[in-house]
Homo-oligomer: A and B are copies of this chain.
Amino acid sequence: MKLNEQARGVYVIAATPFDDNGAVDQDSINSMVDGYLAAGVSGITILGMMGEANKLSEAESKSVITGVLNRVDQRVPVVVGVSSAGLDPLVALSKFSMDAGAAGVMATPIPSIRTDEALYGYFERVCNAIGSQTPLVFQDYPFVTSVHASVPVLERLIDDFAQIVMIKHEDWPGLSKLTRLRAGSDSGAHRRVSILVGNGGMYLPPELGRGADGAMTGFAYPEMLVDVCDLYSAGKAEQGEDLFDLYLPLLRYEAQPGIGLALRKELLRRRGLMASSYVRAPGPRLSKEDHAELDSLVARLERSLHAAGIQPRNLV
């Protein structure tokens, strides 16, 4: 099961569950995967930025890959984040992942890239090094990488490297970029790749309206993202946006940079997807005020869902 340009729906960005001592927790990997699948996700992305990949040893990274792939057991495609400062580590992790059964890999540009030419050159090198049979997701996330990808350079890469099958779109602001990318494929000038949006899902409705195929993000209520994508697919955009707006207060709270990872893990813990909300150092810790705000936002969400006649779902 290789990733391809037809990918759509929600590829949830998986957290990496630790126990309260900070060790990778395989039991929670299992419950998390089960919960994500119960939410109806179309795929799972592991070892991304929110997966604390750069705080893991190589052995831990491999145990996460193997653990997730085993539990998923081919039910949905799994994408593995392989970004690295060096090409050799990137290639090694990519090979391990594909050999273990991943559907594809995801990479960001290295932070030192500053021109279209350098960006093209870097991904040309990555594509050649991982091999044309390895599907690649281009993660376009300038807020974190500080690398900005223009539409022309993305189109050149798409045209020249068939293995680039998906863009994780989280430029910000990014709506006009999405429109331009879709205009380029709609006109037939460029191959159409899958575009899944990130940024915590903050702009999912307008992005779906502009041609995104879904979301690749880790909001702790992925079932909402799934339903919104389904409603848009079914031509029920207004209903989709209605549903989205119910979750928006909590979603925008979780989407804060930095502390967002701790908030997300705490929500996943509360929902039973993982046993601990431990975040590895250096990383954020929640205060009692943070917990109280989560309490309040979750209670408000439940009231909103109730008022809208929507039954909250349990994932485990």
Contacts and interface: CB of A to CB of B under 8 A. Distances in A.
Interface of A: 22, 52, 54-58, 84-89, 92, 110, 112, 114-118, 122, 125, 129, 142, 147-153, 172-173, 175-176, 179, 202-203, 206, 209-210, 241, 245, 248-249, 252-253, 256-260, 280-282, 287, 289-290, 293, 300
A257 to B, nearest CB: 6
Contact of A87 (B55, B58, B257): B55
25 contacts: A52-B86, A55-B88, A56-B88, A58-B58, A88-B280, A88-B281, A112-B282, A114-B142, A115-B115, A115-B116, A115-B153, A117-B151, A118-B148, A118-B150, A122-B282, A173-B259, A175-B259, A175-B289, A176-B287, A176-B289, A176-B290, A179-B289, A203-B253, A245-B249, A248-B252
A134 B116 CA distance: 29
A88 B258 CA distance: 19
A57 B202 contact: no
A258 B171 CA distance: 12
- Copies of this chain present in the complex amount to 4
Contact of A115 (B57, B150, B175): B150
Nearest to A179: B289
Contacts of A260: 173
Contact of A258 (B152, B173, B248): B173
Identify which of A57, A142, A153, A260 gathers the most chain B CB atoms within 10 Å of its CB: A57
Q: Is the interface of A mostly helix, strand, loop or mixed?
A: helix
B252 A202 contact: yes
Nearest to A152: B117
A256 B157 CA distance: 27
A55 to B, nearest CB: 3
B122 A256 contact: no
Contact of A289 (B22, B54, B118, B210): B210
Nearest to A54: B85
B280 A87 contact: yes
Contacts of A56: 86, 88-89
Contacts of A289: 175-176, 179, 210
